[in-house]
Amino acid sequence: MASTTDKTTDKKPGMLGAIVPILVLTLAAAGGGAVIGKQIVSATRAAGEKAATPADAGKPAAAAALPARTLKELTPVVTNLADPDGSWIRLQTAIVYDKTDAPAMEALAPKVSEDVLAFVRTLTLEQIQGASGLEALRDDLNERAKVRSDGKVRELLIEMLVVR
């Protein structure tokens, strides 16, 4: 009895059948990456050259239009936290304000420092843990300083924070 199947049709594709598509795809990806890389480099160089040449030499720079600002360190706050018992905090802050408001800041700085002390006494350890707790503390202190100074304080900076 003769077999109806041919031995040549039963052959499975060899290693060459798998390597050829992989090689073709690899070469296509390398070529595409090279083209995109050249475009990025040329766009970056063009942007750098454009930034190096002044657009309007007659106009003042944007930074010169901003008012001059200065920094004043506040007295460090050392107090206990509301919870847990026995936990202490030392907070050293500074305020940023316009130089034109310097006389007013001499009188406002102690009041801002008192507000910081009053606020820190109400905090719990859980409220200031982690990055989100530190960010919330900074935002709350900034808001209090701006309200106390009628917007003259541009920012309250936390220079040092120690909790024990």
Confidence of residue 9 (pLDDT cuts 50, 70, 90): low
**pLDDT mean over 101-127:** 92
Nearest to 148 by CA among 91, 97, 99, 90: 97
Calculate the average pLDDT of the chain. 85
**pLDDT mean over 87-93:** 95
**pLDDT mean over 156-161:** 94
Say if residue 53's pLDDT is above 80.
no
Lowest mean pLDDT among 39-43, 49-53, 139-143, 144-148: 49-53
Distances (CA, A) of 31 to 1, 20, 24, 35, 68: 56, 17, 11, 6, 52
Strand blocks (E) in the chain: 69-73, 77-80, 88-98, 153-163
DSSP element (H, E) containing 121: helix 102-121
Structure tokens, 62 = 């944007």
Residue 44 is predicted with a pLDDT of 82
Say if residue 47's pLDDT is above 90.
no
Structure tokens, 71 = 């920094």
Distances (CA, A) of 22 to 13, 30, 32, 34, 36: 14, 12, 15, 18, 21
CA distance 34 to 28: 10
Q: In sequence order, which residues have a C-beta less than 8 Å from that of residue 100 and are 6 or more positions away? A: 67
Greater pLDDT, 114 or 65: 114
Model confidence pTM above 0.95: no
Q: In sequence order, which residues have a C-beta less than 8 Å from that of residue 98 and are 6 or more positions away? A: 67, 68, 69, 70, 152, 154
Say if residue 38's pLDDT is above 70.
yes
Residue 89 is predicted with a pLDDT of 95
Residue 144 is predicted with a pLDDT of 94
